[in-house]
Chain A
């Protein structure tokens, strides 16, 4: 499906010079509970259609929902991690609408009594002098259930427009969702797209650290809608905060980190072009198209969208006790950003190195490698080398290539113990990537072993020095870097099976340098 558009888009810099962007994000996180929110159906991804459904999640008459205790605990832990207040009493509500993705004709959600409210999440963006913190205020996080999945048949390439009929699979209907809603985010200015991406990224890290969701955006277990409006830049003595907010659009289907940034950027340019031409923004739902990088108009939306919310009579209120909340507070992980800073200082990485490691998704792997005995420098070298190159070229996670943290630690051990030199270790890594076994097995199979025979090494060094009197004189005279040529020749004479560091020490000793 390719969406094109004739919408004018203003250059981003110009748009930001004239307008102040205000945005908000609604993120849906699918919990990784074993069962659905209100019934015991399994939640596994990719099951055959309608094999994980029951009278409750099909909305059959007489079926009664019962709340999943683990989902409530996850919702509370998410709220606590987002620095929210936790409601001491709250209810579910029916959100009524006519669309066949819910067999009940309503979605069980929470309306004006969310379980988590009034929190914040600090996110990091690159500033002029290293990372800077931006605080995103959280309005609420509430519990609800996911909807079914539809296939649209008879139209062009699976689109709902022009379809003849639709086929619905309700396996996903009823899987617990937490919807996390920010307050309008102001003050980000030109960094709005970057802050939006950093927020979703921080949220994903947090969910992962909490262990409450797989947060796989490509599988839809984390999904994002982005609201955006523009208001004129403040002039004269006016404060920007005093300028009233503009009309906003809500962009749906923004389902990758990169898209969050791109969609906000696109919508700023589009709205700026409309406003600059004297037009006005229509309050509407827009759809993001990942392939073409544009948003297109969906249906008009009004605040008065009538979902006829009312308290769900089939579910009793949820009233978390203070003891439960405190017990769950005790289970919170170290906040991801804080953890990253701790690890960075433990590992002695520069800001840039840490950022690359983080962006490559290597933090956990390096942590495990170090725990398994690798030095932080070696762990970074191996994960960020050939493996990272392949992962980024093939858009696959680092852990996908058959190399484990144990492998990396073992490989580093073979180097530090003096069995392998650097080029041999690289050959072992090739073997690891080719699935040839453990590092020791690969080194054995490939006959990789530094020569331990010191006599042979000394003979080789003596011969190379004797054959290169000019270079040897230079080294004797203090030009230590000239020793490189001698080291190379010794390594060649030893067929690469020598420890280059040891060779260097021997040469310098013999030449008294």
Chain B
């Protein structure tokens, strides 16, 4: 249940933020980790409040605004230069993203 998970997250500590940052491949300094741990914990606590009112008779909502049909015209816009596209990749080869072995060795 999402609500339980959110409540569980309220004890978001510095190690967990460091772990999340690693998964998201975001480099954080020690100072940033310190600041963000506090902020993220606060956010998680606020979001967890939803769990207190989410009863079975309240349908889950995916979008807070009553918007539909936001579309764009089928016209080409410039893509990134390939160097820029690959710049954030940990490794690249032959203008492609290099990823580690996909299947485990059996």
- Shortest C-beta distance, B45 to chain A (Å), equals 20
Q: Are A160 and B77 in contact (CB under 8 A)?
A: no
Chain B residue with Cβ nearest A318: B69
Q: Are B99 and A100 in contact (CB under 8 A)?
A: yes
Chain A residue with Cβ nearest B83: A50
With A66-B70, A69-B73, A161-B103 already in contact, 4 other A-B pairs whose C-beta atoms are closer than 8 Å: A41-B79, A58-B80, A60-B88, A153-B93
Q: Are A54 and B70 in contact (CB under 8 A)?
A: no
Q: Which of A35, A48, A66, A166 contacts B76 (CB 8 A)?
A: A35
B 50-106 contacts with A by CB, 8 A: 62-63, 65, 67-80, 82, 85-86, 88, 93-103, 105
Chain B residue with Cβ nearest A42: B76
How far does the alpha carbon of A68 sit from the alpha carbon of B71 in the complex, in Å? Answer: 6
How far does the alpha carbon of A200 sit from the alpha carbon of B98 in the complex, in Å? Answer: 36
Interface of A is mostly: loop
Q: Are A69 and B74 in contact (CB under 8 A)?
A: yes
Q: Are B96 and A50 in contact (CB under 8 A)?
A: yes
How far does the alpha carbon of A53 sit from the alpha carbon of B96 in the complex, in Å? Answer: 12
Q: Are B74 and A34 in contact (CB under 8 A)?
A: yes
- Shortest C-beta distance, A242 to chain B (Å), equals 38
Q: Are B99 and A168 in contact (CB under 8 A)?
A: yes
Chain B residue with Cβ nearest A31: B74
Chain A residue with Cβ nearest B106: A161
Chain A residue with Cβ nearest B74: A70
Q: Are A313 and B82 in contact (CB under 8 A)?
A: no
Interface of B is mostly: loop
Asked if A71 is an interface residue, CB under 8 A from chain B, the answer is: yes
Q: Which of B67, B79, B99, B105 contacts A316 (CB 8 A)?
A: B67
Q: Which of B68, B69, B97, B102 contacts A163 (CB 8 A)?
A: B102
- Shortest C-beta distance, A410 to chain B (Å), equals 38
Asked if A151 is an interface residue, CB under 8 A from chain B, the answer is: yes
Asked if A167 is an interface residue, CB under 8 A from chain B, the answer is: yes
> With A60-B88, A100-B99, A160-B103 known to touch, is A67 a contact of B77 (CB < 8 Å)?
no
Q: Are A54 and B80 in contact (CB under 8 A)?
A: yes
A–B pairs, 9, beta carbons within 8 Å: A34-B76, A35-B77, A50-B85, A66-B70, A69-B72, A71-B74, A165-B101, A167-B96, A316-B65
Q: Are A165 and B99 in contact (CB under 8 A)?
A: yes
How far does the alpha carbon of A87 sit from the alpha carbon of B61 in the complex, in Å? Answer: 19
Asked if A49 is an interface residue, CB under 8 A from chain B, the answer is: yes
Q: Are A316 and B80 in contact (CB under 8 A)?
A: no
Residues of A participating in the B interface, judged by any CB pair closer than 8 Å: 33-35, 39-42, 48-55, 58, 60-61, 66-72, 89, 91, 99-100, 103, 150-153, 160-170, 310-313, 315-320
Give 9 nearest A-B pairs by CB, closest first.
A40-B77, A311-B62, A167-B96, A70-B74, A69-B71, A319-B68, A100-B99, A316-B67, A168-B97
Q: Are B82 and A50 in contact (CB under 8 A)?
A: yes
Q: Are B79 and A51 in contact (CB under 8 A)?
A: yes
Chain A residue with Cβ nearest B73: A69
> With A161-B103, A168-B99 known to touch, is A35 a contact of B71 (CB < 8 Å)?
no
> With A42-B76, A53-B85, A313-B63 known to touch, is A166 a contact of B94 (CB < 8 Å)?
no
Chain B residue with Cβ nearest A72: B71
Chain A residues with CB under 8 Å of B74's CB are: 33-35, 68-71
Chain A residues with CB under 8 Å of B102's CB are: 99-100, 150, 152, 160, 163, 166
- Shortest C-beta distance, B43 to chain A (Å), equals 16
- Shortest C-beta distance, B2 to chain A (Å), equals 10
Chain B residues with CB under 8 Å of A40's CB are: 72, 75-78
- Shortest C-beta distance, A108 to chain B (Å), equals 13
Q: Are A167 and B79 in contact (CB under 8 A)?
A: no
How far does the alpha carbon of A67 sit from the alpha carbon of B71 in the complex, in Å? Answer: 5
Chain B residues with CB under 8 Å of A316's CB are: 63, 65, 67-70
How far does the alpha carbon of A168 sit from the alpha carbon of B82 in the complex, in Å? Answer: 13
Q: Are A50 and B86 in contact (CB under 8 A)?
A: yes
How far does the alpha carbon of A318 sit from the alpha carbon of B96 in the complex, in Å? Answer: 34
How far does the alpha carbon of A151 sit from the alpha carbon of B65 in the complex, in Å? Answer: 42
Q: Are A67 and B101 in contact (CB under 8 A)?
A: no
Chain B residues with CB under 8 Å of A42's CB are: 76, 79
Q: Are B62 and A51 in contact (CB under 8 A)?
A: no
Chain A residues with CB under 8 Å of B73's CB are: 69-70
Chain B residues with CB under 8 Å of A55's CB are: 80
Q: Are A50 and B97 in contact (CB under 8 A)?
A: yes
Chain B residues with CB under 8 Å of A91's CB are: 62
Chain A residue with Cβ nearest B60: A311
Q: Are A165 and B75 in contact (CB under 8 A)?
A: no
Counting chain A CB atoms within 10 Å of each CB, which of B74, B80, B93 scores highest? B74
Chain A residue with Cβ nearest B100: A165
Q: Are B97 and A100 in contact (CB under 8 A)?
A: yes
Q: Which of B67, B71, B96 contacts A151 (CB 8 A)?
A: B96
Q: Are B85 and A163 in contact (CB under 8 A)?
A: no
How far does the alpha carbon of A41 sit from the alpha carbon of B80 in the complex, in Å? Answer: 9
Chain A residues with CB under 8 Å of B70's CB are: 66-67, 315-316
- Shortest C-beta distance, B36 to chain A (Å), equals 14
How far does the alpha carbon of A103 sit from the alpha carbon of B82 in the complex, in Å? Answer: 15
Chain A residue with Cβ nearest B77: A40
Chain B residues with CB under 8 Å of A72's CB are: 71
- Shortest C-beta distance, B22 to chain A (Å), equals 15
How far does the alpha carbon of A40 sit from the alpha carbon of B76 in the complex, in Å? Answer: 5
